[in-house]
Amino acid sequence: MHPILSDMQAKMKKTLDYTLHEFSRVHTGKASPAMVEGVMVEAYGSMMRLKECAAISTPDARMIMIQPWDKGITQAIAKGIHAANLGFNPIVDGANIRVPLPELSRERRQEMVKRANVMAEEGRVQVRNVRREAMDALKKAHKDGGLSEDELKRCEKEVQLATDKTIKDIGGHLARKETEITTL
């Protein structure tokens, strides 16, 4: 396999993985640590991600439990969750923080579907950018004499197949996410 193609496939895989990670942050009514792990918390004089200063678990489908490693930053974590504007209302319970998930209204579900669609579109745009970079690199390699006309055509076909497959994968994951969000 040509190095340009393997580089392109790695970038497309990374884009797909990133898009799936973004999907995991969309609130579906079912608790997930990913919903809050990226929240920024002011601790020890700097800003840290929540996952860097606390253990996050989901004791049940409607609750996120946060256990700070240092009891002194409990209030800062609650403040950070409020400031993140995720629609959650954290409850400080001694040294722990409980985050009950609110029931999703139909409007809120539609908002979440829109957000997931935006994330999917960003992923597709990124995949197309990777495709364009690979095509440009292949054409340059052909022009410089490193690739024959037949190899160029074969590689271009492979680039298009990989692009189509990755965009289809994003679409499939988006459809599942929409079903997850809209199912009560």
Calculate Rg over the CA atoms of the chain. 22
Task: Give the residue among 80, 74, 79 at the shortest CA–CA distance from 93.
Answer: 74
pLDDT for residue 94 is more than 90? no
Q: What is d(CA 162, CA 159) in angstroms, rounded to the nearest whole number? A: 5
Domain with CATH 1.10.132.20 in the chain: 3-24+105-182
Mean pLDDT of 44-72: 88
Mean pLDDT of 63-67: 91
pLDDT for 26 equals 75
Main-chain dihedrals φ then ψ at residue 112, nearest 5 degrees: -65, -40
pLDDT for residue 184 is more than 70? no
pLDDT for 25 equals 75
Its CATH class, for the domain covering 3-24+105-182, is mainly alpha
Measure Cα distances from 166 to 24, 67, 105, 134 in Å.
18, 38, 32, 15
Domain with CATH 3.30.1360.40 in the chain: 33-100
Its CATH class, for the domain covering 33-100, is alpha beta
Mean pLDDT of 92-121: 86
Residue with tokens 């400031």: 83
Mean pLDDT of 27-34: 76
